[in-house]
Structure 1
Amino acid sequence: MALLATKAAEVETLQAERDALVRRILKLEEELALARLHRFAPRSEKHMDRVFNEAEQASLEDDADEDHDDIDEPGAADLPDTGLPEAKKPEGKKRGRKPLPAGLPRQRVEYDLADD
């Protein structure tokens, strides 16, 4: 019986130690993710209007569900208004050198090559 009690106590201590290590691993993984986010995230302030507010979005979805129970369109979700102008499709940059101005004087130079 004494052996069984010591083994049970040992199992409990090992489980407690394992739980502590799992909590520490989770904490360190979260710190690493935050450090990576801080290091590699965009630093521009122009994206602050597009910050996602989960509570506000959830309340808007609840209100929309109550108001539109009779609509059977599954893909008819309205996007939230951010107050920003519509995004324009970026134009592709033209490749190559810009043409020289038409007013520049041009002079044609011809060279005769020997038949050597």
Structure 2
Amino acid sequence: MTRTGEPSVAELMAQLAANAAEIAALKAEKEALSQRIAKLEEELALARRHRFAPHSEKHVDRIFNEAEQAADEDGTDSEENDVVDLPDTGLASVDGPTDVNRRPKFTPYRHPILTPLVA
């Protein structure tokens, strides 16, 4: 006895196999997308490290300075020895900045026809 609205067992098995294949394809696609997301996150982290990393004087802390170590061992850390006299170059001495504000003065724009000049 088969009803007209109910599918047969063979049709249900075929539909089950099709659904299983679709599920497997979706799982494979999900795994591929997860791997791509992980790769893009790694690239983003690397780009951020590269962008926001210190660029100048990268290796200052890592340099071994033998002269500084020898000076530290000698014990001559007085402040008087740190001052160095500069040689006379024959140029005029500069006391400080002569022109503090180097920007031009603001002058409002006046259209010659629309705005009469006041004498």
Which TM-score band applies after superposition, normalised by the shorter structure? Answer: 0.3 to 0.5
Higher RCO (CA-CA < 8 Å; seq separation 6+): 1
TM-score, normalisation: structure 1 = 0.40
TM-score, normalisation: structure 2 = 0.39
